[in-house]
């Protein structure tokens, strides 16, 4: 058997990719085709009450270096530097925010709360909310308001979040212990047309298009489920190609996607990126650009 045939018997060889890129690429693809059914699309932004619904891009803000893993420090450092620029935040102070404008929550309330709720009125209608607070008239409303928000002032404001990929919805940094009462207050205020203005601090997040472009120049980026990451065939390809890559988990309810960053300048990573795309792996850069 010739030397080139021996090399091609190991399709992960960088020399095999150099001498016979098409043949080596086809062999790698055949190895990974069994994973095609495991690939899932990135979730589209949804109209939801919960801040962490959908793909958790907010976790990119203040991303710690230790969040990334991979075989080489250089690639992890480059990836972190670019990823940490994707989400930009600004904080604004609002002297008088109408409570009725709030329609989102940052903290979930546990397994007993339906995950599909869209508005605070749906929380207020739950039996648990009615057990916690009963608002029959305006006096009940005032008492519930002062119990739930006793210390609001210019120095101690209501804290809210907003993200460009979630539209104009305002999300409260809520205390789970008083959230059902808060939902009941908002629901009553909307029904009765009662304006309650409070001081608020809003952290507004947005994606930076220029940072997305810089990331695209440096890396191919895919979101892969754990079923792919943990599959022996995928591990064999990563180890066989001796890839430089970075891996970033982004945990969210109902999701187990982790980002794979492949440096564009390396031939073997370009081959793997092309194969992953053909097999239906979720491509992240285009997803970000479309938001």
170 pLDDT above the threshold of 70: yes
- Cα dihedral 100, 52, 38, 263 in deg (nearest 10): 120
Q: How confident is the model at residue 111 (pLDDT cuts 50, 70, 90)?
A: low
Q: How confident is the model at residue 153 (pLDDT cuts 50, 70, 90)?
A: low
Q: How confident is the model at residue 27 (pLDDT cuts 50, 70, 90)?
A: confident
- pLDDT tens sequence across 205-245: 999 999 999 999 999 999 999 999 998 888 888 887 788 89
- pLDDT tens sequence across 50-74: 999 889 999 999 999 999 999 999 9
Residue 109 DSSP SS3 = coil
Alpha-carbon span 99 to 186, nearest angstrom: 7
Please give the domain boundaries of the chain with CATH numbers for all domains.
73-86+209-291 (3.30.70), 88-207 (no CATH)
- What pLDDT does residue 194 have? 95
Greater pLDDT, 83 or 25: 83
Which three-class secondary structure string do you get for 266-289?
CHHHHHHHHHHHHHCCEEHHHHHH
- pLDDT tens sequence across 243-283: 889 999 998 887 889 999 999 988 778 888 888 998 899 99
Q: What is the mean pLDDT of the chain?
A: 87
Report H helices in 10-107. 14-19, 21-32, 73-83
Alpha-carbon span 123 to 265, nearest angstrom: 51
Q: Decide if 237 contacts 32 (C-beta within 8 A).
A: yes
């Amino acid at each position: 058997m010739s030397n080139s045939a021996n090399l091609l018997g190991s399709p992960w060889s960088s020399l095999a990719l150099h001498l016979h890129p098409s043949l080596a690429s086809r062999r790698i693809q055949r190895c990974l085709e069994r994973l095609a059914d495991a690939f899932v699309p990135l979730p589209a932004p949804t109209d939801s009450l919960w801040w962490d619904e959908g793909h958790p891009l907010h976790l990119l803000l203040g991303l710690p270096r230790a969040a990334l893993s991979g075989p080489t420090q250089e690639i992890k450092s480059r990836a972190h530097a670019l990823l940490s620029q994707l989400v930009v935040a600004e904080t604004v102070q609002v002297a008088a925010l109408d409570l009725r404008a709030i329609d989102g929550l940052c903290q979930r309330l546990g397994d007993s709360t339906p995950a599909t709720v869209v508005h605070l009125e749906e929380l207020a209608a739950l039996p648990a909310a009615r057990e916690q607070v009963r608002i029959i008239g305006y006096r009940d409303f005032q008492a519930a308001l002062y119990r739930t928000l006793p210390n609001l002032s210019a120095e101690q404001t209501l804290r809210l979040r907003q993200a460009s990929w979630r539209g104009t919805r305002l999300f409260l940094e809520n205390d789970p212990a008083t959230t059902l009462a808060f939902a009941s207050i908002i629901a009553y205020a909307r029904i009765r047309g009662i304006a309650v203005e409070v001081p608020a601090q809003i952290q507004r997040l947005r994606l930076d298009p220029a940072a997305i472009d810089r990331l695209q120049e440096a890396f191919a980026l895919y979101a892969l489920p754990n079923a792919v990451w943990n599959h022996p065939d995928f591990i064999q390809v990563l180890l066989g190609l001796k890839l430089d890559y970075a891996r970033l988990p982004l945990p969210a309810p109902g999701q187990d996607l982790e980002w794979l960053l492949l440096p564009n300048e390396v031939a073997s990573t370009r081959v793997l990126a092309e194969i992953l795309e053909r097999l239906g792996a979720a491509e992240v850069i285009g997803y970000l650009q479309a938001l």
